[in-house]
Amino acid sequence: MSVRRAGAGPLLPGSTLGVLGGGQLGRMMGLAARRMGYRIVVLDPDARCPTGQVADEVVIGGLTDEEAALELAGLVDVVTLDTEHVPADLLDRLEEVVPVRPRASVLRTIQDRQTQKTFLDGLGLPQTRWAPITDDAGLDAAIAEVGLPAILKVRRAGYDGKGQVRIERAEDAAAAWDRVGKRPAVLERVVDFVREVSVVLARGLDGAIAIYPIAENVHRRHILHTTRAPAPMPAERQARAEAIARRIADDLGHVGVMAVELFELADGALLVNEIAPRTHNSGHYTYGAAATSQFEQHIRAVCGLPLGDPRPLSGAVMLNLIGELWRDGDPPWQHVLARPEARLHLYGKLAPAPGRKMGHVLLLDDDTDRALGVAEELLAALTPA
């Protein structure tokens, strides 16, 4: 099979982008790409997936299906990702055929929590105390090293609280280990933080970096509930957060959008929580509140274009819409659509389920405290009685 490499110049409109994974991130990337004049081909088991609804073509297959992934690679000029849960070995294979951005080496570092944490330690970046676990003896040793309370997290494929168990007492450890199936894991010490924030940035092929205003995130039941941007942080702390994210992106040689989640402590310290090598839920506010959305920015980066302007056009609050709101059918959207500052984004998912992200509401308001209040009012109005 011949190897197709991007030339010295950028991939211009008319080129074809391949997306591995058909979720909402791929959908919003696809909408941005089509507006710019690109074609989209997506790999997903379901032709009706959110990205498939806006794509030019769907290749049917899962994220571990090498034959289907190679079929997609033969149809496109560059491959990118909707999710980091794509086997890095598969990306190695695709890189023999077509440019893949971000590269397999980035995913190999990030998609395994132990490898990610070892990488961060190597950079000397602050994070919570942690220890690896592979067996029963390792669990006891990790508790002795890290202390309690702590969070037990599987090394791979956990997100939105899946594959995670909090351990308060040593006598609860064995049950927690059983709950995650005794899979390879890490143990992280619980920290008392003031808030969770994220830095969403894009890094281009030329190494240029564009950073969005830092976002403040609130989670409920391990799922992102609201994001507000800009986060109310002192300028010096913002600069430190940005420097951490920039260091990570540069050292990885990342291309595309990336999010770095951080804990902000009462004394002003910042601890890295997690890295996501893709567009991110906490960056959805940019889709309407920034000069260039994270989705257009990602397309620009992976196509080798100059990065767009990340400056904010408005303060913003993003409210996630979770499957429970569909318990009695479609929620009463008139409550959202009646508000001039609100923008409704639905992802085209055909089967609502508890804990499933179905859409979000964006509220544009420079008074983000007021917007947070409106978000809670809207959530109450949308919630079944």
Cβ burial of 264 (10 Å; 0-12, 13-18, 19+) is buried
Sign of the CA dihedral running 123, 125, 127, 130: positive
Instruction: Evaluate whether 361 touches 226 at the Cβ level (below 8 Å).
Output: no
Asked whether residue 60 carries a pLDDT value surpassing 90, the answer given is yes
In this structure, which CATH number among 3.40.1440.60, 3.30.160.100, 3.30.1490.20, 3.90.650.10 belongs to the domain 129-189?
3.30.1490.20
Asked whether residue 69 carries a pLDDT value surpassing 60, the answer given is yes
Which residues are bridge partners to 264 per DSSP?
195, 270
Residues written for the chain: 385
Percent of the chain at pLDDT above 70? 97
- Residue pLDDT, tens place only, 118-175: 999 999 999 999 999 998 888 999 999 999 999 999 999 766 667 899 999 999 999 9
d(C-alpha 343, C-alpha 318), whole Å: 9
CATH 3.40.309.10 fits 16-100, yes or no: no
Order of strands across the sheet with 164-167?
Answer: 130-133, 185-189, 150-154, 164-167
Instruction: Evaluate whether 316 touches 365 at the Cβ level (below 8 Å).
Output: yes
Domain residues of the chain, as ranges? Answer: 16-100, 129-189, 193-382
In this structure, which CATH number among 3.40.190.10, 1.10.580.10, 3.30.470.20, 3.40.50.620 belongs to the domain 193-382?
3.30.470.20
- In the chain, how long is the greatest CA-to-CA distance? 60
Sign of the CA dihedral running 354, 355, 356, 359: positive
pTM for this model (two decimals): 0.95
In 10 A of CB 380, how many CB atoms? 9
- Between strands 39-44 and 57-60, the pairing is parallel
- Residue pLDDT, tens place only, 16-43: 999 999 999 999 999 999 999 999 999 9
Instruction: Evaluate whether 50 touches 348 at the Cβ level (below 8 Å).
Output: yes
d(C-alpha 263, C-alpha 217), whole Å: 10
Instruction: Evaluate whether 72 touches 59 at the Cβ level (below 8 Å).
Output: yes
